[in-house]
Amino acid sequence: MKFSGQLLAILGAVSLSACSGVEPWVKPYERAHLADPIMSFSRNPVADDFASHVYQVREGARGAEGGHGGGCGCN
Amino acid sequence: MEAAVAATERRAPTFLRAARAAAATTPLALLLVSPSLDAGVLAEDRTDALYHSYDGGGVQVTGPSLLVRKGDNKQFSGALNYYVDNISSASVDVVTQGSPYSEKRSEWSGSVDYLHADTTMTAGYTRSDESDYQANTFSFSISQSMFGELTTVTLGYSRGFDDISSNVDAAVDESADHQNYHVSLSQVLSKNLLLSLNYDAVTDEGFLRNPYRRVYVLDDPNDPNGLANFNTPERYPSTRTSNALSANFLYYLPYRASLKLGYRYYADDWDISAHTVDLRYTHPLGSRWLFDVGARYYQQTRADFYADLFQRPDQQNFMARDKELSEFKDYSLGFGVTYNLLKKPYGFIDKATLNFNYDRIWFKYDDFSDVSGGGPAAQAPLYEFDADVMRFYGSIWY
């Protein structure tokens, strides 16, 4: 679990640095492409969860399927 | 022999056991309650009705999945999912250790999202039922959006409680607990590029093997070229801990299309390590059609207590012959088509689509033999099979 501890420490540091007010480097008006539905890691959660399930039950690995969500906070 | 045959008729093969594990230990359960990448935005209201089909290795699995999500457009969004697997199995394990059987697994999931400023909290519950296995999973996650909504960090935890019995042995009354710790980071890297990093640590404790499966042991330990038998039950450790880390990139191409590239590394204390690479290309055509093509590659090493063939029933403390714990690889190719039914909103429906996805998967095992042909164990060919996976579904947004 040493690995996970290090990862949590890094994420914690990133979270704390959020308080310092970083300027967004991609402006809201530059996010048209990111707002396109084709820029979603998972456009259809039910279908994608089933696809993950098919592999999970036949492979030894599990977790970090990841890549869900998408978009850019443009709404 | 009657009892033995009955046992294998109702045996819950790897597919079921793993399906329950998936429901209980998160990946699946946690994903169901994960908020979208945008912690500051509630998920869209939508309903999906899906029919799924899997056919491969003598196993057919079909069933529906229905998801309904509705929110108040302010702070709350709730989702309910009903999922069914109807299984008809004559897998290589079933053929070599018993008789084909049919069974049903049903699963209910519910979750509630609460949005406050740039923070989304999600609580969820999943219950999975079948004749010899019940699983209850509770999960919670919190997502925080920051840096002008360019970054979202999600922390998640789920805990599962499973009850395991046997359809042929009333003495089997076991349990297993699962815990999943999840961390993910979603990052806008540029106006055309997204990154998603995901980490899951999973710990299992309790009865982790299949109560029906047996290992393959030589009749005569001094005759490696002789016959073998399935008289010895598997023996597994009572704990398992795994770590998985993935990185996924999604890129908007110079024309309107996207490319996704993902990689995952996995390792656990059963000595299994695995690499997964997947690629997806999405291409719209006009305002109504959307096409996806994808490829995926997976490979893993074997668990340290796995063997295709054991010399003696007491050869070692832990013994397994589950092909999912063997050394193997699989790769798949697939495509998807989405058709947008509405050019403009109709009544309360903002958008409606019909979708079809097909994947073909090839599994090739490096140390799992197909012993269904009988004869000396050492002469059995390595096992391999193909599977066809289909999803047909309709979705509406409102």
Asked whether residue B89 carries a pLDDT value surpassing 80, the answer given is yes
**Contact with chain A for residue B81, Cβ under 8 A:** yes
The domain ranges of chain A are 25-75
Quick one: what percent of chain B has pLDDT higher than 70? 90
Segment holding B7, helix H or strand E: helix B2-9
Q: What is the pLDDT of residues B3-18, one digit of tens each?
A: 332 333 223 333 233 3
Q: How far is A28 from chain B (nearest CA, A)?
A: 9
**Cα separation, B9 vs B99, whole angstroms:** 5
Averaged pLDDT, A54-74: 70
The reported pLDDT for the residue numbered B54 is 96
Of residues A72 and B152, which shows the higher confidence score? B152
Using pLDDT thresholds of 50, 70 and 90, give the confidence band for residue B366: very high
The reported pLDDT for the residue numbered B11 is 31
Asked whether residue A72 carries a pLDDT value surpassing 80, the answer given is no
**Contact with chain A for residue B274, Cβ under 8 A:** yes
Averaged pLDDT, A55-70: 78
**Contact with chain B for residue A15, Cβ under 8 A:** yes
**Cα separation, B207 vs B391, whole angstroms:** 33
Q: Rg for chain A (alpha carbons), in Å? A: 17
For residue B207 the two structure tokens come to 């009865």
Averaged pLDDT, B30-53: 72
Averaged pLDDT, A5-20: 55
**Contact with chain A for residue B40, Cβ under 8 A:** yes
**Cα separation, B381 vs B314, whole angstroms:** 25
Averaged pLDDT, B158-187: 92
User: A12: exposed, middle or buried (C-beta count within 10 Å: 0-12, 13-18, 19+)?
Assistant: exposed
Asked whether residue B42 carries a pLDDT value surpassing 80, the answer given is yes
State chain A's mean pLDDT as an integer.
Answer: 73
Nearest to B38 by CA among A5, A45, A39, A72: A72
**What CATH code is assigned to B2-397?**
2.40.160.40
Averaged pLDDT, B102-108: 92
The domain ranges of chain B are 2-397
The reported pLDDT for the residue numbered B333 is 98
> Mutation test of the interface with chain B: which of A25, A59, A74, choosing the one with the most B Cβ atoms within 10 A?
A59
Averaged pLDDT, B144-168: 91
**A64: which chain B residues are within 8 Å (Cβ-Cβ)?**
27, 198-200, 244-246, 264, 266
For the residues of A22-73, what is the DSSP string, one character each? PPPSS-GGG-HHHHSGGGBS-S-HHHHHHHHHHHHTTSS--S------B--S
List, in sequence order, every residue forming a beta bridge with A12; answer none if it has no partner: none
Using pLDDT thresholds of 50, 70 and 90, give the confidence band for residue B374: confident
Averaged pLDDT, B202-220: 93
Q: What is the pLDDT of residues A38-54, one digit of tens each?
A: 999 988 989 998 999 99
User: A19: exposed, middle or buried (C-beta count within 10 Å: 0-12, 13-18, 19+)?
Assistant: exposed
State chain B's mean pLDDT as an integer.
Answer: 88
**B185: which chain A residues are within 8 Å (Cβ-Cβ)?**
11, 14
User: Residue A4 and residue B201: Cβ atoms within 8 Å?
Assistant: yes
* Long-range contact pairs involving B370-374 (C-beta distance under 8 Å, separation at least 24): B370/B92, B371/B96, B371/B216, B371/B228, B372/B92, B372/B95, B372/B96
The reported pLDDT for the residue numbered B23 is 33
**B80: which chain A residues are within 8 Å (Cβ-Cβ)?**
none
